[in-house]
Amino acid sequence: MKAAMFIEPGKVVTAEVDKPVIEKPTDAIIRIVRASVCGSDLWWYRGISKRAANSLVGHEAIGIVDAVGEAVTDVKVGDFVIAPFTHGCGHCAACLAGFDGDCMNQETGGNGGYQGEYLRFTNANWALVKIPGQPADYSEDMLKSLVTLADVMATGYHAATSAEVKPGDTVVVFGDGAVGLCGVISAKLLGAKRIIAMSRHEDRQKLAREFGATDIIPERGDEAVAKVMALTNGNGADAVLECVGTEQSVDTAVKVGRPGVPQKPEMNTNNLFWKNIGLRGGIASVTSDDKKVLLDAVLSGKINPGKVFTKSFTLDQIEDAYQAMDQRTAIKSLLKVSEG
């Protein structure tokens, strides 16, 4: 079968590899219909983080169940499913508390191979999210939105719920990539009255407004703080979604928060303490949030996160898909793998 393979920083190729097989009773084999490139994939593509050479890549996809292990009873062969990157077991303490991103029974190597024709999916019984019907029942736009439920939409939603966004709130969203834009969607979904998107790019500003942003601020650092304070009568925001991770972004996010996941682990938390600001974050609860809220929100047309996909590619064009995101000519790259 064909699958995307990481060779070295700046080089991803389409390779012929063996089709995966059931290895454990809790496994399923998924025939991928649509997949995508995530912003976090760029970390190792750019050489920022380490990844083993000749490894399969990708962690966001939807597809058809091709085979199941004997312990998998909640999904069956032929089901159309979302394949979350989180692989929650559904019965450990973390999953039961609604934090399946921190599942205590995740298996090493689960997030590799989504950008391919077939995927071995671990903890399949609970973690997979069934989609009604079959791929042919949905428009291409709806399929795009369903793909976002494997990660990026759920991650944006997790940021918003972690920040305890509630009706009437003023929310600032840092980051105009796919996660930040899904954070805007999520703030709107949770009832925020004012949503201030920090964005410097016209195409992303336009999409942020379409998703519910009421204000756009392109400035950074102290200028950005001043603009937010001016818009909020000096009060700051009720909730801040930091979807970038740089030191400057985290620092600015703290400064615009109303009194009441950084890349720099030495971050000084004194400013949080003196303003009574809480810092929360973590791995998204993809399966839990998809099943409770997000799948219905997409199917009903309440949200349309698939618009973050601004370019589409085939598996044979995998290098182009990565370059488009690396060079910022695409907000997010979709991979059309099969027609279902």
**pLDDT digits 0-9 by tens, 165-201:** 999 999 999 889 999 999 999 999 999 999 999 998 9
Cα 246 from chain centre? 18
Single-letter code of the amino acid located at 256: V
Portions of the chain given CATH number 3.40.50.720: 155-274
pLDDT exceeding 70 applies to what percent of the chain? 89
User: Is 90 exceeded by the pLDDT of residue 118?
Assistant: yes
2-151+302-336 maps to CATH 3.40.190.10: no
Portions of the chain given CATH number 3.90.180.10: 2-151+302-336
Q: Is the torsion defined by CA of 291, 293, 294, 295 positive or negative? A: positive
Q: Decide if 250 contacts 267 (C-beta within 8 A).
A: yes
Q: Encode pLDDT of 281-322 as tens digits.
A: 688 999 999 999 999 999 999 999 999 999 999 999 999 999
Distances (CA, A) of 45 to 58, 80, 135: 12, 30, 30
Q: Dig out the tokens for 315 from the structure.
A: 């598996």
- DSSP-H helix ranges across the chain: 41-45, 93-96, 124-127, 140-148, 152-162, 178-189, 202-211, 221-231, 247-256, 270-274, 286-289, 295-299, 318-326
User: Is 90 exceeded by the pLDDT of residue 98?
Assistant: yes
pLDDT band at 107 (very low <50, low <70, confident <90, very high): confident
Average pLDDT of span 104-112: 80
Total residue count of the chain as it appears in this document: 340
Q: Encode pLDDT of 215-260 as tens digits.
A: 999 988 888 889 989 998 888 889 889 887 666 666 666 566 544 3
Question: 155-274 falls under which CATH superfamily?
Answer: NAD(P)-binding Rossmann-like Domain (3.40.50.720)
Q: Decide if 110 contacts 122 (C-beta within 8 A).
A: yes
**What is the pTM for the complete model shown?**
0.91
User: Is 70 exceeded by the pLDDT of residue 280?
Assistant: no
Residue with tokens 């508390």: 97
pLDDT exceeding 90 applies to what percent of the chain? 77
